[in-house]
Structure 1
Amino acid sequence: MPAAARVAISFPSLVFSGKSCIINFIRHRSAIPMKIHQLKAFVAVADSHSFNEAARLLSVSQPAVAKAIRELENWADRQLVIRSSRGTQLTPDGVSLLRRARGILDQVARAEHEFAGSGPHEHVSLGLTTLVSAAVAPTLVDFKERNPDTAWTVLGGSRRLLFEKLYNHTLDLVIATLPGTPEEMGTGFRCEPLLRLPTVLTVAKGDPLEKAQSLADLTQAEWLHAESEQSFDHHFRGAFAEAGVHRLPPFTRCESPFVMLALAARPNTVTMWTGLASHAMKPQLKVPGENITGLALKEKLPDITVCAVYRPDLIMTPAIQRLLGQVRRLKDMDMLDLGPDAAVLSVG
């Protein structure tokens, strides 16, 4: 039986698309298979925007990088990279492949790490936004003590930065406060609400602001907030309106929990925390931690929802499941429970 006929029997849908589809299918079958070194070259070129720099990063020659990209384009049967006097850019197909390439290389690196030495070792790469990192620090310390053989990487920073690293497979998951707007979340992620924490406002002990009873008494203070202007607006606009204030005070954004705690002890400064944050940080910075106190205001401040954000293709390893389970158990402490039926949301 002729080869084309055999293909038509195995894949009858190809017959209705015409002879060219059968030829393309046969050509793909005979193409050079995709290889790991080609993906490494492709990601290096994408990150450095230069074949020469990619070669330097990979410790290979520039012709070797060019050959790897050419073979990858032959495999994909389309152009992935454009070289010009302005540098190297990816085509739309190249951008689409880049995320897949990062994911494949991430899993290869993880397998190499886990099976190096005497046996497999689990690894978790975790991102924490500033408010969350201050709140869950004791839980992470406890997790490390309970799982001494689990290697992990912990990165902090803004949601935007951490979500970018999550998208690029640098991180497994991010634990973050729920963004005020969908734009801050980005697309292509799943968001699992874990628990809600009360909002706590603090001032320096002995500061006249200690006597504040309403948000209206705090409009002249310097506010310290760990997140974006959109989040600040989303979180406080309704509460300030309830207090009769329709213009939010200016605030200083600080993404370092240690610097934030130190600044929180300055006079005429109001700092926003989650319910656990100031208590959690005291063992690390005793003096600043003991020099701030919480405010009791008549306005009800919105609670903070803490979420686990991850890619839909994330492999939920036992270590990741244990970590999420330990964070979920925070709700058994003096906090607000989201309940067992909290939904996992897909964004984009």
Structure 2
Amino acid sequence: MKHHQLRALLAVAQHGSIRAAARAVCLSQPALTKALRELEQDLGVPLLMRSARGVQLTHFGLALQKRAQVILAEMQQAREEIHQLSGELFGKVSIGVTPLVAMKFLASAVDKFQKRMPNIQLVIHEGFLPLALPSLRDRMLDVLVGAINPAYLGSEFVFTPLLEEKIIITVRQGSPLAKKRSLAELHQACWILNSLPGNISSQVLEMYASLGLPLPARIIESQSFTAWLCLCSQSDLVSAVPASFLDMPWIRQILVEVPIQETIPPICIGIVTRRDALLTQSCDYLIDCIKWAIDTDRS
């Protein structure tokens, strides 16, 4: 198997046609077709099937696609690592962050990073970590930083804790629900949660169960921070957030903590990497910058 053959396979998988794939990898259609034919001959199995809907991968091709993504990503990282060790600081680092990390720590970390490595391309993805884990597994992301219960991580990942965050219940400023004093009193309210396993919201639902209380009667599922913020600011929705959210004045103008008597177990903010990952010098430094930003904020 050769580099250009694997690139050709991934391009066909992404674009669904020989013409579009050839254009994407800057090859002629005959050259791309030859590379794919040689790859099939080398492996002794058909990788592609043609239909009225275009070109699709066989089950052999789908299996190879997953491996090819890993192989090419590792080759690219190896190339970047060698260049970085030789003093040529260029390449790319892809990071996934949860909203709290994005709002509170990312700016200072990125500023510090760029002062030392201005030619490294940063690719930042924002979202909830349970949703981002497949991208980390498939090498689309190099590292994840944010809130997650490490008990929900598989053995393929390594979790490095950075700090614990208190979880609070919030509603909009002026909401009558701000006067409630217990989870039981909030049972009939409408909640906006993201109940993915290992997430902050799942800790609240587990708290309801541990107290022998029925789960909230009405729940809106949201995996969008923007939608969550807009809905919470304009209606009487109840949500669970890291306490540090209210450290930011613009959020404190919108939300207020509900002083419930129960203490919800804290969530851990940390770094998630693949156990088998060989991180580049630039990725290691970005992680150091994030640790520095968190330590600076806490001191």
Partner of 1:40: 7
Residue 84 of structure 1: how far off its partner (Å): 4.3
Deviations 1:228-260 (A, max 9, x none): 389577422342245552233322233333442
Deviations 1:78-110 (A, max 9, x none): 433334456544344433332332234335555
From 123, 127, 135, the counterpart of 1:165? 135
Counterpart of 2:203, as a letter, is H
Pairing 1:282-293 to 2, within 5 Å after superposition: 282=249, 286=250, 288-293=251-256
Partner of 1:213: 181
> Quick check: 1:237 aligned with 2:205?
yes
Residue 190 of structure 1: how far off its partner (Å): 0.8
Partner of 1:139: 105
Partner of 2:275: 312
Counterpart of 2:68, as a letter, is A
> Quick check: 1:252 aligned with 2:215?
no
Residue 179 of structure 1: how far off its partner (Å): 6.0
> Quick check: 1:68 aligned with 2:35?
yes
Counterpart of 1:81, as a letter, is L
TM-score by length of 1: 0.69
From 271, 274, 291, the counterpart of 2:242? 274
From 265, 286, 296, the counterpart of 1:323? 286
CA contact (8 A) 2:113 2:289 kept: no
CA contact (8 A) 2:156 2:276 kept: no
Note the residue ranges of structure 2 that are not aligned, 5 or more in a row.
none
**Cα pair distance change 1:188/1:269, threshold 3 Å:** same
**Cα pair distance change 1:231/1:249, threshold 3 Å:** farther
Partner of 1:156: 126
CA contact (8 A) 1:191 1:307 kept: no
Query: What number of residue pairs does the alignment pair up?
Result: 290
Residue 274 of structure 1: how far off its partner (Å): 1.5
In structure 1, C-alpha distance between the alignment counterparts of 2:47 and 2:272, rounded to whole Å: 30
In structure 2, C-alpha distance between the alignment counterparts of 1:164 and 1:240, rounded to whole Å: 29
Deviations 1:12-49 (A, max 9, x none): xxxxxxxxxxxxxxxxxxxxxx3322121110112233
CA contact (8 A) 2:130 2:199 kept: no
Partner of 2:16: 49
Partner of 1:15: none
TM-score by length of 2: 0.79
In structure 1, C-alpha distance between the alignment counterparts of 2:189 and 2:205, rounded to whole Å: 16
Secondary structure in structure 2 of the residue aligned to 1:320: helix
In structure 1, C-alpha distance between the alignment counterparts of 2:133 and 2:40, rounded to whole Å: 29
Deviations 1:159-186 (A, max 9, x none): 465233323322112234336995xx5x
**Cα pair distance change 1:109/1:154, threshold 3 Å:** same
Larger Rg: 1
Secondary structure in structure 1 of the residue aligned to 2:105: helix
Deviations 1:241-290 (A, max 9, x none): 4555223332223333344233322342212112323324x4xxx2x541
Residue 71 of structure 1: how far off its partner (Å): 1.3
CA contact (8 A) 2:110 2:289 kept: no
CA contact (8 A) 1:135 1:275 kept: no
> What percent of counterpart residues are identical?
26
Secondary structure in structure 2 of the residue aligned to 1:265: helix
Deviations 1:289-330 (A, max 9, x none): 413111221112122133433333422223322333444463
In structure 1, C-alpha distance between the alignment counterparts of 2:231 and 2:172, rounded to whole Å: 9
Partner of 1:125: 94
**Cα pair distance change 1:234/1:259, threshold 3 Å:** closer
**Cα pair distance change 1:297/1:176, threshold 3 Å:** same
Note the residue ranges of structure 1 that are not aligned, 5 or more in a row.
1-33, 336-348
Secondary structure in structure 1 of the residue aligned to 2:181: coil
Secondary structure in structure 2 of the residue aligned to 1:147: helix
> Quick check: 1:97 aligned with 2:64?
yes
In structure 2, C-alpha distance between the alignment counterparts of 1:143 and 1:233, rounded to whole Å: 27
**Cα pair distance change 1:222/1:334, threshold 3 Å:** farther
> Quick check: 1:203 aligned with 2:171?
yes
Secondary structure in structure 1 of the residue aligned to 2:234: coil
